[in-house]
Amino acid sequence: MRNRPAEGGAPPDPAPDGRRVPPQAVRIPVFVGWLVGLGVLALLLVEHDARDVLAAVAALGWWLALLVAFHAVPLLIDAIAWRALIEPLRLRTLVAIRWIGEGVNGVLPVPHLGEILRAGLAARHVGGRLAAASVVVDVTLGVATQAVFTAIGLALLSLLANDGVVLRSLLLAAAILVASATAFYGLQRAGGFRLAALLAHRWSKAARRTFGVADAQAIDDQVRALYGRRRPLLRSAAWRLAGWIAGAGEIWIALRGLGHPIGLGDAVMLESLSQAARTAAFAIPGGLGVQDGALLVLGAQIGIGGDTALALALAKRCRELVLGVPAAAAASFIQTRSPAANGSPGAPPTA
């Protein structure tokens, strides 16, 4: 990966045979995944009377505003979790950076762009190596604690549902989460940044001009140092799990506004397992259509009608848009007006 040039688009990396690989070739699978997800969501709406579903979302009124405002709670908790790994940064700065990263991930079909932005923005305040390492460890803890959160949701669902197909599908999603967290952690312990740098240098002249293997090795060392700090690591993991659980409050609020109040246990079940489905469908940006379909299936397990479940799914999407669009605009403004010394927020930092 490389820094963004001062003007114009970034030149594509050369292929091993010396030819240029157009950026569109990399973006096509992502765009196709986004189209597939959009098609699935459209099909769900058509099958459940889109007019009624949209009318229900519009009728939420101030409940929708409350849902958007409530998201500050899990956002703050996740920022506290990150702060345990990168303590020199002020909490309000971390909340702002986290909002930008999360918002960009929610509205732009570019995988992991939010994490790259977080590292770049944090590098403006602390060393680039610490910023990059803290984001990597934070993401790993996020996946690991999501696996625990998913297990909680599965336990709650097992008390309610007799549908073996649903349970087996969600167990598969949980297995994907556990495997992803384990593989990601193992790659970090093996020196993932150094391996990536060596591969990039082998195939890309641009990579050799932009960053060195020594810089990548330094980030690997910083990652290992963070894993060696057991107390901050456990504190961060505990906060991350709390953030996942707090996110269930959005479902509780939305369903009350839709005239179908549920208990906190059911809200946790819906949030944990729909998020697991979204994460498992990593090939589709934002889990578009997948998370929404999961809420439809899971809602049926606790007596929520299809129209209400889809209205809930769209309410959550509205929250992502309301917070994500300004976040993307803020990221663009910062990147354009105030480039960092180590590269733009869209580029990985090097200290």
Residue with tokens 């700090």: 229
**Do the Cβ atoms of 269 and 153 come closer than 8 Å?**
yes
The highest-confidence range among 102-116, 203-217, 221-235, by mean pLDDT, is 221-235
The tens digit of pLDDT for each residue in 254-276 reads 999 999 999 999 999 999 999 98
Query: What spatial distance separates the first Cα and last Cα of the chain, rounded to whole Å?
Result: 15
Question: How many other CB atoms are found less than 10 A from the CB of residue 7?
Answer: 5
Residue 224 binned pLDDT confidence (cut-offs 50, 70, 90): confident
In this structure, are residues 139 and 240 in contact, taking their beta carbons and an 8 Å threshold? no
Greatest mean pLDDT among 93-97, 227-231, 333-337, 342-346 lies in 93-97
Q: What is the pLDDT of residues 304-321, one digit of tens each?
A: 998 999 999 999 999 999
Tell me the per-residue pLDDT of 126-163, one tens digit each, with 9 for 90 and over: 888 899 889 989 999 998 999 899 989 988 888 776 65
| pLDDT band per the 50, 70, 90 thresholds, residue 88 | confident
C-alpha to C-alpha distance for 315 and 309, rounded to whole angstroms = 10
Cβ neighbourhood burial of 291 (10 Å; 0-12, 13-18, 19+): buried
pLDDT value for 14: 37
Of 66-70, 221-225, 274-278, 324-328, minimum mean pLDDT range: 221-225
